[in-house]
Structure 1
Amino acid sequence: MPATLTDDEVGKKVVDAEGKELGIVAKVEGQRAAVDPNPSVAEHVMAKVGWEGEDEEDYIVTEDMLDRVGDEVILRGDL
């Protein structure tokens, strides 16, 4: 069963299976998260306080791509 995404993930780092940081969760909508690959300091702060945002450089991660969610959102290694 894949991990689930909630609004609590906004602002968390997204990492691959080897631990390489890929960005931060900018917004969660349903079973999808918009991930900002190059967040500025301002975008980090806005995400932490719940001011979700999504822009054209963000990419989408779906729940079936996740290994687990904890302090970080970790993607499966077989993508």
Structure 2
Amino acid sequence: MQNDKTLTADDEGKDVVNSDGDKIGRVTNVEHGKAHVDPDPGLADTIRSKLGWGDDDEEDYVLNTSSIETVTDDEIHLSR
């Protein structure tokens, strides 16, 4: 688990989960420490992001690091 909230390309492909543990999206790209999240990734998007081929589209949202509670090997957990 990462102790800081600095995101890198290694975080691409991770699931984003809310404070209730529900999956709400997947990180498709990280630029300048900011994660771009697809709120409803399809299979192709998931594979691209896991391979590091992330590509933003008009449906991605930038995740504020202030919203992040913890980062694990597989997920980014949001605070309440």
* TM-based fold match above 0.5: yes
The percentage of aligned residue pairs carrying the same residue is 40
In the alignment, the residues of structure 2 paired with residue 30 and residue 76 of structure 1 have an alpha-carbon distance, to the nearest angstrom, of 21
Give the counterpart letter for 2:48 in structure 1. Answer: M
Q: Helix, strand or coil for the counterpart of 2:66?
A: helix
For normalisation by structure 1, the TM-score amounts to 0.89
Q: How many residues align?
A: 77
Q: Which residue of 1 aligns with 2:8?
A: 6
In the alignment, the residues of structure 2 paired with residue 2 and residue 69 of structure 1 have an alpha-carbon distance, to the nearest angstrom, of 8
Alignment of 1:1-79 (within 5 A): 3-70=5-72, 71-77=74-80
In the alignment, the residues of structure 2 paired with residue 74 and residue 21 of structure 1 have an alpha-carbon distance, to the nearest angstrom, of 9
Runs (4+) of structure 1 exceeding 4 A deviation are: none
Instruction: List gaps (5 residues or longer) in structure 2.
Output: none
CA contact (8 A) 1:2 1:67 kept: no
For normalisation by structure 2, the TM-score amounts to 0.88
Q: How big is the alpha-carbon RMSD for the aligned residues of Structure 1 and Structure 2?
A: 1.3
Instruction: List gaps (5 residues or longer) in structure 1.
Output: none
